[in-house]
Structure 1
Amino acid sequence: MDWDKLRIFHAVADAGSLTHAGEVLHLSQSAVSRQIRALEESLNATLFHRHARGLILTEQGELLFDATRSMDQRLEAATARIRDSADEVFGELRVTTTMGFGLLWLAPRLSQLYENYPDLRIDLILKERVLDLPMREADVAIRMKEPSQADLIRKRLMSVNMRLYATQDYLNEYGNPDTPEDLKDHRLICQSTTATQVSASAIFTQQLLTYNVRSLLTVNNYFGVLQGLLSNLGIGVLPDYVTEDFPNLVRVLPEMESNDIPVFLAYPEELRHSKRIAAFRDFVTEEIIARRKRLRAEAAD
C-alpha cells in the first residue's frame, strides 16, 4: 500500500476536509482529492461520505483511520526517542493531569521549568479521564491514584487530603463553625459526589452532606470551588495543596479531612531515557521537596 496516500488519507480524516488537509500538507485541494480517489480505487472501497459541510468516514474509512492513527502514534514515539538521544532538552512534552492539580498547582510553577529549559514546549492536557500513555495520548501523567496501565514507570510524589476552607472575611461575617453540626448554618461549596473524582474526595463530601447543610453550591472542578470561596460564598472543600498559593484561606474544622490521596507521576517504559521526561520529573520532584520543607517549617513554628 502506498504510504504517501495513507499519510494524505490520515490528514483528511483528521481534518474532516480536503481543504484543511491540503493546508496542513501544503498541497492543493485537487491534489489531495486525486490521492484519495486513487486510494479508494486501490482498496475498491468508499472511505468518505461527502456532504456540504465536509467529509464523514464510512465504516471502511473508520477501520483504515484506526490503523493510520496507531501508525502515527508509533511514529511519534519513535521520533521522540530519536530526538531524546541528544544532550539538549527541547521539543514538545505532553503532560496530562487533572484540571484541579493542573490549574491550581502545576501551571503556576511552570515558569521555573521554562527558565531552566527555554526550548521545551509543554502541551498541558487537563482531563479527569485517564489518558493511554503506552498509546502516546500523552508523554507523562500526574494522577491522583496509582496508574494501572501496563508498561509504565511510576513514581509516588506525595499525598494530599481534602479539607474545609473559607476566607477570613466570610468567617468574620458568618462565624466559624465549632462542630460539624454547625455546617447546617453555612453554604457548602464542593464537587458533586457524582462528578469524576477520586473516591476519597467523594466519600469526604458525602460525609459532610450528612450534616443537613442548609445551602449547597456544586462545581465540576476545584478551580470553580476556589473562586466560590474567594467570592465569600461559603465554606468549601479543596485539596490541601491549593492553599499554599492562597494564604488568605483559613482552614475550617481542622479535625475533619479525607483519607490520604496518593499522587503519582507515570510515563511509558519506552521513554525511560527521555531527557524531556527526566527534566520534568526532576522539576516536579524538587517542587514537592520544597513543599515538604515549607510544611515542616510551618509546623515547627
Structure 2
Amino acid sequence: MDWDKLRIFHAVAEKGSLTHAGDVLHLSQSAVSRQIRALEESLAVTLFHRHARGLILTEQGELLFDATQAMVKRLDATAARIRDSEDEVFGELRVTTTTGFGTLWLAPRLARLYEKYPALKIDLMLEERVLDLPMREADVAIRMKEPSQADLIRKRLMNIQMRLYATPEYIAVHGKPEVLDDLSAHRLISQHAGTPQVAAGAVLVQDLMSHDIPSTLTVNNYFGVLQAVLNHLGVGVLPDYLTEDFPNLVRVLPDVQSAEVPVFLAYPEELRHSKRVAAFRDFVTEEIMAYRRRQQDEAAA
C-alpha cells in the first residue's frame, strides 16, 4: 500500500475536508482528491461519504484510519527518539497521571524540572482513565497500581494511603472525632463511589459510610475533595502525600486509614533511551526520595 496515499488519506480523515488537508500537506485540492480516488480504487472500497458539509468516514474508512493512526503514533515516537540529543533534553514530553496526584503533588514541583531543562515542553494529561502507553497516547504515566502491559518499563515510586483530615477551623467549631461512631456528627467528604479510583480508597469510604453519616459531599477527584476540606466543609478522605504541602491539615482518627496503594512510573520499552523520559524519571525519583527523607526526619523528631 502506497504510504504517500495513506498519509494523504490520514490528513483528510483528520480534517474532514480535502481543502483543509491540502493546506496541511501543501497540495492542491485536486491533487488530494486524485490520491484519495486512487487509494479507493486500489482497495476497491469507498473510504468517505461525500456531503456538502465535508467528508465522513465509511466503515471501511474507519478501519483504515485506525491503522494509519497507529502508524502515525509509532512514527511520532520514532521521530522523538531520533530528535533526542546525546547531551541535551528538549522537546515535548506527554505525561499522564490522575487529577489528584497531578494537581496536588506533581505540578507544584515541576518548577525544579524546568529550571534544569528549560527547553522541555511538558504536556500534562490529568484524568482517571488509564491511557495506552504502547499505543503512544502518552509517553510517561504515573499510576496508582502496577501497569499490566508486558511491554512497559515500570518503576515503583512509593506507597500511599488514604486518611482522614480536617482543618483546625473546622475542628474548633465542630469538634474532633475521637472514635469512628463520632463521624455521625460530621460531614464526610470523599471521592464519589462511581468514579474511577484506587480500590483501597473506595473500600475505606465504604467502611466509613457504614457508620450512619447523615451528611456527605462526594467529588470525582481528590483535588475537589481537598478544596472542600480547606474550606472547612467537613472531614475529608485524602491521600497522605498532601500533608507536606498542606501542613495545617489535622489528621483525624489516626488509626483509620486505607490499605497501602503502590505508585508506579511507567513508559514504553521503545522510549528506554529517550533523554526526555530519563530526565523526567530521574526528577520524580529524586523528589520522591527527598519526600521520604523529610518524612523520616519528622517521624524521628
Aligned to 1:171: 171
Q: Secondary structure at the match of 2:46?
A: coil
Flag the 1:225–1:80 CA change in 2: closer, same or farther, 3 A: same
* Superimposed CA distance per residue, residues 208-242 of structure 1 (whole angstroms, 9 cap, x where no aligned partner): 10111110111111111111111211111110112
| Alignment partner, residue 250 of structure 1 | 250
Do the aligned partners of residues 22 and 100 (structure 1) sit closer, same or farther apart at CA in structure 2, a change above 3 Å counting? farther
Deviation readout 1:33-91 (Å, 9 max, x if unpaired): 44323332333321112334443210110111111112112212221222235321111
Give 2:135's aligned residue: 135
In 1, Cα distance between the equivalents of 2:172 and 2:181? 19
Aligned residue number for residue 15 of structure 1: 15
Q: Provide the rounded CA distance (Å) in 1 between the counterparts of 2:242 and 2:19.
A: 45
Q: 1:15, CA displacement in angstroms?
A: 2.9
2:67 is aligned with 1:58? no
Provide the rounded CA distance (Å) in 2 between the counterparts of 1:23 and 1:230. Answer: 50
Alignment of 1:125-274 (within 5 A): 125-274=125-274
Question: Residue 162 and residue 38 in structure 1: after superposition, are their counterparts in 2 closer, same or farther (change >3 A)?
Answer: same
Residue 30 of structure 1 and its aligned partner are, at CA, apart by 4.7
Identity over aligned pairs, percent = 74
Q: Give the superposition deviation at 1:274.
A: 1.4
Aligned to 1:3: 3
CA distance in 2, matches of 1:18, 1:175: 67
1:95/1:183 Cα in 2 relative to 1: closer, same or farther (>3 Å)?
same
Could you say what secondary structure the match of 2:189 adopts?
strand
1:72 aligned onto 2:65: no
Q: Distance in 1 between matches of 2:150 and 2:17?
A: 36
Q: Distance in 1 between matches of 2:33 and 2:13?
A: 12
1:38 and 2:63 correspond: no
Q: In 2, Cα distance between the equivalents of 1:85 and 1:236?
A: 46
CA deviation map 1:68-122 (0-9, x unaligned): 1121122122212222353211111111111111111111111111111111111
Partner-residue secondary structure (3-state), 2:194: coil
- TM-score, normalised relative to structure 1: 0.94
Tell me how many residue pairs correspond in the alignment: 301
Change (3 A) 1:164 1:30: farther
**Counterpart residue type for residue 249 of structure 2:** L
SS at structure 2 position matched to 1:183: helix
Query: Any stretches of 5+ residues in structure 1 without a counterpart?
Result: none
Q: Which moved more, 1:59-68 or 1:3-12?
A: 3-12
Residue 262 of structure 2: SS of its match in structure 1?
strand
How far did 1:26 drift? Answer: 4.0
Instruction: Kindly provide the CA deviation profile for residues 149-189 of structure 1, in whole angstroms up to 9, marking residues without a partner as x.
Output: 01111111000000111111111111111111011111111
Instruction: Quote how far apart the aligned CAs of 1:134 are.
Output: 1.7
Shift of 1:24: 3.3
What is the CA distance between 1:272 and its match in structure 2?
1.5
Deviation at 1:29, TM superposition (A): 4.4
> Partner amino acid for 2:223?
F
d(CA) in 2 for partners of 1:26, 1:237? 54
Specify the alignment match of 1:275 in structure 2: 275
Q: Partner letter of residue 163 of structure 2?
A: R
Give the whole-Å Cα distance in 2 for the aligned partners of 1:109 and 1:162: 21
Query: Hey, what's the Cα distance between the residues in 2 that align with 1:91 and 1:51?
Result: 39
Deviation of 1:271 (Å): 1.6
| Runs of at least 5 residues in structure 2 that lack an aligned partner in the other structure | none
In structure 2, how many angstroms separate the alpha carbons of the residues matched to 1:177 and 1:24? 62
Q: How big is the shift at 1:126?
A: 1.5
**RMSD of aligned C-alpha atoms?**
1.7
After TM superposition, the structure 1 = structure 2 runs for residues 98-113 of structure 1, keeping only pairs within 5 Å, are: 98-113=98-113
Which amino acid letter does the alignment assign opposite residue 171 of structure 2?
A: L
Cα distance in 2 for partners of 1:53, 1:229 equals 49
Say which SS state the counterpart of residue 137 (structure 1) adopts. Answer: coil
What residue in structure 1 maps to residue 84 of structure 2? 84
Tell me, in whole angstroms, the C-alpha distance in 2 between the residues paired with 1:27 and 1:234: 61
